[in-house]
Amino acid sequence: MKKHRFLTILFLIFSSSIFGQTFGTVGTEWYYSEHAAGMCPGNCEYLHLKSVSDTIIDGQSTHKIIQTYYRYIGDTIMLEPIYLFEQLDTVFMWSFSKAKFLTTYIFNGNIGDTLTLDKPDTIPWTDTIYRLVIDTIINVNIDGVSLKKYRTIAIDDYTFWNGGYFMERIGGLDWFFPRAAIYPEAGGPIRCFSDAQIDTNFQIVACDYILYTSVNELIDNNDIEIYPNPTTGKIIIQAESIIGVEIMDITGKTIKNTVIANKAKQSANKNKIATGYHPRNYEIDLSSQPKGIYIIKITTDKKTITRKIIKQ
């Protein structure tokens, strides 16, 4: 009887070790830097992710992670929650648009291994994968916890920027997810991470640091206005001599790309206006896009600027 009891306890310990979830358990927090290019410098904003509860999705127990975006003007934006779980050193994230779990991280690879992962849910219309090759594995110790830090090389169009690093238990060090391209207003790198055993700061700034700036001062010094921001659908761009507008998701994927220069020439020729075409207001409709952060790139006859748009 005692032997059977011992084996049962050993099995439970072994099962907990193999199948236990250490990634994103309730109470885990991440802080990633944000900044609005042309509006405030780097680290002026941040994105806070926190695991708040466990819930069942498609029969699987998952961790619910809420995302709160803290802006330099003092307000906050609640983004869509993330639902994920870890099993056998692999992290899976639920995709509502694809109605399945996506392979997000693999933490048991060796140098030279090729990791095949699913592209994040920020691209709802595609069902493709991307690959990373593990180039280096660094053993690090944070608050007494031994972790592996992976340096990867991208085979396809997705990667973790700033060296391709991600770390077991923490995830991406540049950004929570990999991305196809990086822009000045794209988030990252990680500021802070904490869970039941770890509480560490990766930067010299405080986890919740924000550089507050006067909105009126920013508008007065800028000849291009975009409003409303955040938006639930349409946005208006107010500027002179717009040549083109491109909208990208946070991963760098272009979702809208409009060249206005050709329309301008047609209008000028038709009306025989030698001075060209100078629109004052241009409307973009994001109603069909999921909630989240988007990048807008505006090209005028004088310059190109990029801004961040929040879709609620």
Residue 228 in domain: yes
pLDDT tier for residue 276 given thresholds of 50, 70 and 90: very low
Q: Number of folded domains in the chain?
A: 2
Q: 240: which residues sit within 8 A by CB, 6+ positions away?
A: 223, 278, 279, 280, 300
Same-domain status, 117 and 249: no
Residue 218 in domain: no
Taking 80 as the threshold, does the pLDDT of residue 265 lie above it? Answer: no
Same-domain status, 118 and 172: yes
Greatest mean pLDDT among 32-41, 65-74, 101-110: 101-110
**What pLDDT shows up at residue 89?**
93
Beta carbons of 173 and 190 less than 8 angstroms apart: yes
Residue 211 in domain: no
- Measured between alpha carbons, how far is 157 from 254 in angstroms, rounded to an integer? 13
- Measured between alpha carbons, how far is 217 from 214 in angstroms, rounded to an integer? 5
pTM over 0.85: no
Tokens representing residue 148 in the block: 């592996």
Task: Provide the CATH number for the domain around residue 241.
Answer: 2.60.40.3080
Residue 212 in domain: no
Residue spans of alpha helices (H) in 96-138: none
Residues comprising the chain, all counted: 312
Same-domain status, 46 and 185: yes
Same-domain status, 260 and 151: no
Taking 70 as the threshold, does the pLDDT of residue 10 lie above it? Answer: no
Residue 206 in domain: no
- Average pLDDT, whole number, for the chain? 79
Hunting for tokens 């509006």 — which residue is that? 39
Q: Domain range holding 25?
A: 2-201
Residue 213 in domain: no
Closest CA to 243 of 264, 223, 257, 226: 264
Same-domain status, 148 and 98: yes
Same-domain status, 48 and 190: yes
CA distances from 207 to 30, 46, 69, 248 (A): 9, 8, 13, 27
Taking 80 as the threshold, does the pLDDT of residue 141 lie above it? Answer: yes
Same-domain status, 13 and 161: yes
Residue 295 in domain: yes
Residue spans of alpha helices (H) in the chain: 2-19, 161-164, 215-220, 261-271
Mean pLDDT (whole number) for 250-260: 76
Same-domain status, 193 and 236: no
Residue 267 in domain: yes
User: What would the pLDDT profile of 187-201 be if each residue is shown by its tens digit?
Assistant: 789 999 999 999 999
pLDDT tier for residue 123 given thresholds of 50, 70 and 90: low
